[in-house]
Chain A
């Protein structure tokens, strides 16, 4: 076989104690599309960032056309004709497409935007892009912006293109258009690496598939010789025994009834469509899905933070037995009812806690409205802070330490501890163990189990399927904003959930 356009040998990358990539081998040939498949956090993006010069590998070698290279910066990557299209676009909003494409290009010639526009048009004609070079970025749709990003790397003469989840933001039609373009580039002899976790895309587009799981290289298969089931198994692996205690639900009562909710994000993209489910008290309902499939919107909708296009959310109030419609209520009223959102977003401090304030003040964020006097009461929050520190074993010099200085796991404990302290009836947690070590994770699981025993309805958004299967009673699988299935966690398998997660929009059926 010919020399690979790019070949990775035994690449390792660590961030502190976390091993993001371990002994990865990969090769792409000219005129080939390689899919890089893996769950969230399996190290796909880290690996690609090493090829594009954002990170530098701790170990291993990179070869381009058979010669070893060292890529230390994005500039080096350009030199080796590698172009990466990031998930989050790097574009200047007030510039036109052509200005963005021409940005930072070093040439001895006088700056000539007209020539740049002509060059861009030539590339467009060659690959079948449709774009107005003089249109401003802020007037463009997401798909147009992506086109500009691709043009940017092509304009710089890239031969190796890396696309990080390019279809995550596109409609199916736009995705088909993109695939047509990618196929044309392939015919043109370019090497393309596409990061994705949508199996049907992998099967329809790529020549070969490489699979990563938890930072490990699992293997590479030819697309023509594989199928969805095999790929899913490679991606999620066999079930691992975790031994998380799962208690039987205590007298489950319908607590939340979600009926046909629909919602759009600010760009007008449908984020949730026709979501229907019930959450019972004394039960942990797990939500599984690829990141960005609508989990955040769903939780926010229940907490009253999302505007709903249509649909109802009923809350069966245990105090008076009445069903109340949460859609008519403000977030504050919903909170008073005992519906608690303990949201742990990607950036831990972003929501829920104020980094520069100490633990006591952060406790006070939930209680400052209660006092009647002019001054805030610090005594109760102080007791609460001390209780949370003791009960949840928060490692901190004291309750007056700014939250920002705590380690990630301890920050999460403070957040969860505060929400639990308010004796909620519904507790929603998203990725509560992200970035935590095993012990802290188990502590959080135990807290959730305790709450379950107390009859709280728990909604748990997680990313580790093993954990979801061990901890939850039911698992709701969400894909592209619709429910692709609700399974019983006691009998379901990882493969089953994996398939549901990657199920495309068209095959969605509501449970």
Chain B
């Protein structure tokens, strides 16, 4: 029983980690008043960017250096997803396009890019077979050497690859910046009332751009984690599934707080995977249980809407573009 529980917890953390990256990235973005629904697509792009660069590197050398594997794939995932959010930023901030439409288009686009390159990458290089970046996958999966010696505790909490811990650290840093620094105060003001921020001499455009691009890059790491740590350096079309939308749901569930996003992500990860741990379920039962995170999100939305505590509401200007002349 205890072993099953331990397995369940560690499986929840594994499932929750890509969600956590997506959620923290989206929280950072939304704090600036940008509702980036392109996050699911951006996470796909983060994953495929890692796969492409990892594939090129592993193909070029006989003995891939694990550190180089990580640095190359990590950087390309960050750049790829940052570029995606840069597109979003340019369209919504500079051209003041509708945020919802832009975001949804970007998601479709990102998933398309992922599947396109995932399916045809080998063909471009004249290779056959399927993508299997074992060296990079192993590098990402490498855990602390002594973790396996610590018994159940080590297995449950210390047996993960480094990106799992980085996710938590990123969430805590994001929380600190948002709540405790001047930059965070300015950022929140931009998301709440850009006109006020503007009058106070804050560069609204700059804040929106930076937080959206950085947020997108963080979300991209979720895709990277999925392709290398979770499935070990392979690619299946649509393999990432609807995790991107779960990340967006977590933002609401966590009430725009990065620290709450940590536990929310693991909870959602657990709900996502718990059907495996309940014996005697048919396939349709499993699909039903997979809906749980969304139902929980709806309940949270209802509760916060009833209570209407101002601190728990989304940033006041979320989804609106800002134009100084429209006073």
Contact = CB atoms under 8 A, between A and B. Distances in A.
A104 B189 contact: yes
B48 interface: no
Nearest to B312: A94
Given A74-B199, A75-B201, A104-B202, A92 B310 contact: no
Contacts of B201: 74-75, 78, 104, 106
Interface string B155-194: 0000000000000000000000000111001101100110
A445 interface: no
A95 B310 contact: no
A75 B197 CA distance: 12
Contacts of A92: 188-189, 192-193, 196-197
Interface string B184-226: 0110110011011111111000000000000000000000000
- Residue among A99, A104, A111 having the largest count of chain B Cβ atoms under 10 Å: A104
B304 to A, nearest CB: 14
A248 interface: no
Contacts, number: 58
A100 B200 CA distance: 9
A144 to B, nearest CB: 16
A389 interface: no
Contacts of A91: 193, 196
Contact of B197 (A94, A99, A104, A106): A104
Nearest to A136: B310
A104 B316 contact: no
Nearest to A49: B327
A74 B199 CA distance: 6
Interface string A84-114: 0000001111110001101111100001000
Interface in A289-332: none
Interface SS of A by simple majority: loop
Interface residues of A, number: 19
Contact of B192 (A74, A78, A95, A104): A95
A368 interface: no
A164 to B, nearest CB: 13
Interface residues of B, number: 21
Interface string B305-327: 00000110100100000000000
A102 B310 contact: no
Contacts of B199: 74, 90
A55 to B, nearest CB: 11
- Residue among B198, B200, B311 having the largest count of chain A Cβ atoms under 10 Å: B200
Contact of A103 (B180, B181, B186, B316): B186
A343 B182 CA distance: 45
B200 A104 contact: yes
B308 to A, nearest CB: 11
A99 B196 contact: no
Contacts of A74: 198-201
A203 to B, nearest CB: 32
Interface of A: 74-75, 78, 90-95, 99-100, 102-106, 111, 136, 138
5 contacts: A93-B192, A93-B193, A94-B316, A103-B185, A106-B201
Given A100-B196, A103-B185, A138-B310, 19 more contacts: A74-B198, A74-B199, A78-B201, A90-B195, A92-B188, A93-B193, A93-B310, A94-B311, A95-B188, A95-B192, A103-B186, A103-B189, A103-B197, A103-B200, A103-B202, A104-B189, A106-B201, A111-B185, A136-B310
